[in-house]
Amino acid sequence: MSSSKAAIISGGARGIGRCLARRFLERSYRVYILDIDEQELRHTATVHLKKYHDDNKVDYGVCDLSSVDDIRSSVKKAAEFLGGRIDVLVNNGGIAAPYWKNGADMTDFAVIDQWNAYIATNLTAPFAVSQACLPYMTHPEGSGDASHADDSDAGPCIIHIGSFRAHQSDPNQEGYASSKAGQLGLMHSMAMSLGKYGVRVNLVAPGRIKVAHECKDGDEKGMQWTEQNEEKDVGDHATNRAGRPKDIADAVEYLVNASFITGQDITVDGGALKKKAS
């Protein structure tokens, strides 16, 4: 990743999204963070990332990803802050809890409301955010793209943050797993549709990533990632540990710079899926 570029991160107030925002800022991007949690947003931007906020390198906006109208108005504000240019969009925001609430299963008709929430937030929202960002990422067909080739030949890109649950599920994850599997189809269809505009589209599918330290409470308690790695994590992963937010940022950074990769998904799970299959 190189200097003088702009990125939008949805779901960037905590966890993987916060780590991604920090990584892009460290690479001299200007960054706009979208999230529904105003308290976490404010802390991340003005405390955790204070030096960048003071230099006008990062700003944020509260956005309800279940509302298309809110998405469109939020992206417009983000584009204004970023000078009308978006080089990278990371669709990280969504419902992260993989199981139905309160121990329910799909025989309970009431879970249909949760199903609808998963689809709206984890699948419709990435489409709507991408759609809203495209005018700032592309030029009309035939006139080239907005890649600013003098800065980089990789061009603009969209990266979806999916889940290894798109490939393998535990019981009672129908809503979450289906929404994440849907993201795979969304990603490769978008890659084919947007290639003519010079926009690449890929997906990173995290496995078990320990993120409790990447938030306001974690900062205040001085929490570290190493405190969260448990004995079970050693046994479940070929890497002998759970994942770090940094591991996802590394994969995203690779895809941002990989100009010949589009329509692909990378599973970052420490070999957990392979161990389950063996």
Question: What is the set of domains in the chain, with CATH numbers?
Answer: 6-277 (3.40.50.720)
Tokens 């389950």 correspond to what residue?
276
Computed from CA positions of residues 225, 123, 272, 191, in that sequence, does the dihedral angle turn out positive or negative?
Answer: negative
Is residue 277's pLDDT more than 80? Answer: no
- pLDDT (0 to 100) of residue 33: 99
Residues in the chain, overall count: 278
Angle between helices 112-119 and 174-194 (to 10 degrees): 20
Q: How far apart are the C-alpha atoms of 244 and 252, rounded to whole Å?
A: 13
Task: Identify whether the C-beta of residue 10 lies closer than 8 Å to the C-beta of residue 93.
Answer: yes
Radius of gyration of the chain (CA): 18
Q: How far apart are the C-alpha atoms of 115 and 262, rounded to whole Å?
A: 29
- pLDDT (0 to 100) of residue 135: 98
Is residue 143's pLDDT more than 50? Answer: no
Binning pLDDT at 50, 70 and 90, where does residue 149 land? very low
Q: What angle do CA 21, 18, 102 make, to 5 degrees?
A: 145
- pLDDT (0 to 100) of residue 148: 46
For the residues 214-221, what does the mean pLDDT come to? 96
Q: Which two tokens stand for residue 247?
A: 């591991």
- pLDDT (0 to 100) of residue 30: 98
E-state strands within 92-168? 157-161
